[in-house]
Amino acid sequence: MAAPNRKAKKRGPIQRNIVVPAPSPKRFYGHGLPGVDRNRLTGKLIAVEGADGSGRSTQIARLVHWLEGNGNATVEVGLKRSTLVSEELEKAQEGNILSRTTLSLFYATDFADQLENIILPALKAGFVVLADRYIYTLMARDMVRGMNEAWLKNLYGIALVPDAVFYLSVSPEHLVQRTFAKNFALDYWESGMDLGLSRDMFDSFLRYQALVEEQFKRLQSTYHFDIVDGHRSVDEINKELRGKIELVMAGRG
């Protein structure tokens, strides 16, 4: 018993510098939310965007592990995870019965519920909030479906501007391969089948993802997110993200 203990002592625990996130001013994209004191939001909000199969979830899981190892408390949010409407949204989508404005507002309700009940309280408590997709995916999807951009901007004027937004960019051709490697099937919505682009799901997937990417690029000019090349290895991408997040934590993001 004694020997390995001494051995461990000799090597010593790994020294980790616990970084207290440096405060940075927070703002909303538009009108914001009634009754929120932005100065009390001392945590950090980091959003990771990208299509299914772009490696978002893998990267976020690693970032959570890393941040927690550094002594930072984290919370994860994502689309369709609200207490309020996630089940109903799921059900409605299965039947594909909602028209586009309704679906758009339903998603916005889901987002707002998480924003007010999870994101903002966590930021007040100084947590690092990792958003597995944020408003940009919702906007890009709606814009592909012909929704008015000004209307969407007003709608998501309630959203808090994240401290960093990373967009994992992967070409549709790669996405399709990654999706098949994982599920052997394409998702109805991720293939944009509701748009009637093509009866052929494979074809529709490629065309839809290209359209979404196009809208992301449009949004990039307004929202300035960081485009990260998602074709590289998990480690390489994670290293890049960590480096950028370290700057954010230091208040220099």
* Least distance (Å) between residue 149 CB and other proteins: 12
Q: Identify which of 97, 111, 99 has the alpha carbon closest to the alpha carbon of residue 145.
A: 99
| 19, 61, 64, 84: which one binds other proteins (CB under 8 A) | 84
Reading the block at residue 238, the tokens are 């994670």
Rounded Cα distance between 179 and 55, Å, is 10
Which lies closer to other proteins via its Cβ, residue 78 or residue 172? 78
Contact 216, 49 (CB under 8 A): yes
Which lies closer to other proteins via its Cβ, residue 106 or residue 188? 106
Interface with other proteins in residues 24-63 (CB under 8 A): 30-31, 33-35
Which lies closer to other proteins via its Cβ, residue 99 or residue 221? 99
Total of residues contacting other proteins (CB under 8 A):
32
Q: Where are the beta strands (DSSP E) in 12-169?
A: 44-49, 74-78, 128-132, 164-169
Q: Identify which of 70, 71, 24, 18 has the alpha carbon closest to the alpha carbon of residue 46.
A: 24
| 85, 119, 164, 170: which one binds other proteins (CB under 8 A) | 85
Which lies closer to other proteins via its Cβ, residue 116 or residue 187? 116
Assess 112 for contact with other proteins (CB under 8 A). yes
Rounded Cα distance between 247 and 212, Å, is 29
The helices-and-strands tally (H runs, E runs) of the chain is: 10, 5
Question: Which string of b and e fits 79-105 if b means at least 16 CB within 10 Å?
Answer: bbebeebeeebeeebeeeebeeeebbe
Assess 108 for contact with other proteins (CB under 8 A). yes
Reading the block at residue 111, the tokens are 């987002």
* Least distance (Å) between residue 129 CB and other proteins: 18
Assess 121 for contact with other proteins (CB under 8 A). no
Contact 157, 28 (CB under 8 A): yes
Rounded Cα distance between 73 and 43, Å, is 9
* Least distance (Å) between residue 157 CB and other proteins: 6
Q: What is the DSSP letter of 133?
A: S
Interface with other proteins in residues 182-221 (CB under 8 A): none
* Least distance (Å) between residue 84 CB and other proteins: 5
Binding mask 158-187 for other proteins (x = CB under 8 A): x-----------------------------
Binding mask 124-153 for other proteins (x = CB under 8 A): ------------------------x--x--
Query: Given the rule CB under 8 A, which residues bind other proteins?
Result: 30-31, 33-35, 83-85, 88-89, 92, 97-102, 104-106, 108-109, 112-113, 116-117, 148, 151, 154-155, 157-158
